[in-house]
Amino acid sequence: MSSSYPPSLATRPAPPLTRREKLNRFWLRISEGLELNQLWSQFEKDARTSYRLYSKDFQGPQEAQRPGRRAWHIAQQFFWAVLEKLSPARRILLLVALILMIFNPAFNWQDQSGNHVFGFDLRLYGGLILLLVLLLEVGDRVVMKRDLEIAREIQNWLLPNQPPKIPGIEIAFQTRPANTVAGDYYDVFLRPGQTPEQDRVLLAVADVAGKSIPAAMLMATFQASLRSLSVTQSSLPNLVASVNRYACTNSQGGLRFTTAFLAELDPITRTLTYINAGHNQPMLCRESGMLERLDAGGLPIGISTDVPYQSGSVVLAPGDWLIIFTDGVVEAVNTADEEYGEQRLLAVVAGAAEATPADMMQRILTGLDVFVGNTPQHDDVTCLLMKVS
């Protein structure tokens, strides 16, 4: 089939890029289209996170010191904190690079008459060694990041994408990991009864002690045990007790515990039976303006196999809001080290009580982002909202 364009236009090569266009293309490639203020915000956040990582190994001065000596002490502590994060071989390479770059042991050869014949500056080699160490660290980071991204994809498969359809009930949920993978868990699924009238909706929000990969692995274990044991025709206290016994076998003697809020909703009577296992107390905001705390329960899961769990029960009414969250929400801090707190969370809910849970979730997360700014957060953020209509 012949081209509809004239031969001269169909075969004409694209005009070469100008130098300005090449520079623009290069800048877009390395900046991924971010503006300068966005790049600076990203750098500031990364710098704060890195400083917090290394400063955990700082040892404060034994006594009050002059500002100059104090700054020198902090610089020493920071240097050793960075150095100890490297492998022994890379530590040696880094020290050699710094010696060559700082002390600059130059070599020069002269003939018998004193004329300069040959010489070279070792600072260049110090820079190359430093670049080698950087490339090795970047290579490790790329491999680890790839593995973490795979772990994050697997973790996302374990969490629900959409809440189930329940007549008269609207649900929304969202999680934001502090790192690539999270130790927070949320779930909403149907727990079938012996008859359709006995079907219940199980709601779960949990927070595993710890961060990153270890917490994410325990979160997956908690999810698997809860899903597997939920198929049995047992009461909520018996279900939680069974999950707790299983968790105790993987909690390293109670060190890796999990706080959790588990509840069963009867869609017909709208009765919510719940157990709070050491979790942040969910807030039930009644349409009348009254606030109820859901605190009945027991110790966090995974501490002791013999701990009893007591259930509580509330009847939901039209206009009621149920807010279940992890401590990463209310303990989020800003640049002044102030916590977001429950009062700000309640103010958002009270200010938009007519909104849908999805809109309310967006309001909460947007308000949280504005509050914390570029301050790095130390914990995962998870929230589950339920509204009765």
- 153-206: pLDDT as tens digits: 877 888 888 888 899 999 999 998 887 777 899 999 998 877 888 889 999 999
8 A C-beta contact, residue 206 and residue 219: yes
Task: Tell which residue, 298, 211, 234, has the closest CA to residue 261.
Answer: 298
Dig out the tokens for 275 from the structure. 């157990």
Percent of the chain at pLDDT exceeding 90: 39
What is the model's pLDDT at position 254? 66
Interatomic CA distance for residues 276 and 301, integer angstroms: 10
- The strand pairing partners of 284, in sequence order, are 292, 322
**Which domains, from first to last, does the chain contain?**
83-149 (no CATH), 159-388 (3.60.40.10)
Q: Directed axis angle between helix 88-103 and helix 123-158, to 10°?
A: 140
Sorting pLDDT into bands at 50, 70 and 90, what band is 36? confident
Distance, C-alpha 125 to centroid of its chain: 40
Higher pLDDT, 205 or 151: 205
Residue 383 CB burial class (10 angstroms; 0-12, 13-18, ≥19): buried
Interatomic CA distance for residues 336 and 203, integer angstroms: 35
Question: Model-level pTM?
Answer: 0.73
Residue 329's alpha-carbon distances to 27, 117, 226, 234, 269, in angstroms, are 36, 68, 24, 32, 31
Check whether 291 has a pLDDT greater than 90.
Answer: yes
pLDDT tens per residue, range 312-343: 999 999 999 999 999 999 999 998 889 999 99
8 A C-beta contact, residue 100 and residue 106: no
Dig out the tokens for 274 from the structure. 């719940």
Q: Could you count the other beta carbons within 10 Å of the beta carbon of residue 38?
A: 12
What is the model's pLDDT at position 110? 60
Q: Could you count the other beta carbons within 10 Å of the beta carbon of residue 19?
A: 7
8 A C-beta contact, residue 182 and residue 155: yes
Mean pLDDT for 214-226 is 88
Higher pLDDT, 115 or 103: 103
Sorting pLDDT into bands at 50, 70 and 90, what band is 243? very high
- Write out the H or E segment, with its range, that includes residue 102: helix 88-103
